[in-house]
Amino acid sequence: MGGWWKKNPFYVEYMVHESTALFVAAYAITLLVGLVRLGQGEAAWNGWLEAMKSPLSIVAHLAFLVAIAYHAFTWFKLFPLTMPPIIVNGKKLEPEVVVGSGWTAAILAALALLGIVWRIAA
């Protein structure tokens, strides 16, 4: 039964968005290693920062970025299917409104995070 999903574009997309989980896992493990190195002291932490500068790491993170951004895109795109309908003033919120609000929230959250990191760092 392996590969059944290749026959239908709908299922190909399903497998692609499910596979973003591999990238989320890889990124979380990268952060976990960083946290462990942080706990081991300054030299260990600087070693992790240095490893993050390697071309392999940069390429891997660009792949994580694309995959996790695609996760964000599909996460909200599927909201009308995965979440119970949202009723406002007795009317069901249109799917486009739900999806659009999700994407807007994701963009605002990303910008807020960048702003907060900037403020802490400055």
Partner 1 sequence: MKTRKRSNAPIFWGLFGAGGMLAALFGPMLVFITGVAIPLGLLLPSGTMSYPKMLAFAQNFIGKGFIFVIISLFLWHAAHRIFHSLHEIGIHAGFGAKLLTYGIAFIGTVVSAAVLLRVGF
Give me 18's structure tokens: 């499910």
Which tokens go with 49?
Answer: 């920062």
Binding flags for partner 1, 34-53, as an x/- string (CB under 8 A): xxx-xx--x--xx--x--xx
- By CB under 8 A, residue 29 contacts partner 1: yes
Q: How many CB atoms lie within 10 A of CB 23?
A: 19
- Quick check: 62 binds partner 1 (CB under 8 A)? yes
Residues 69-108, mask of contacts with partner 1 (x by CB under 8 A): x-xx--xx-------------------------x--xx--
* By the rule CB under 8 A, 30 interacts with partner 1: yes
Whole-number Å distance between alpha carbons of 77 and 67? 15
Binding partner 1 (rule: CB under 8 A), the pick from 16, 24, 92, 94 is: 24
- CA dist 56 and 46 (Å) reads 18
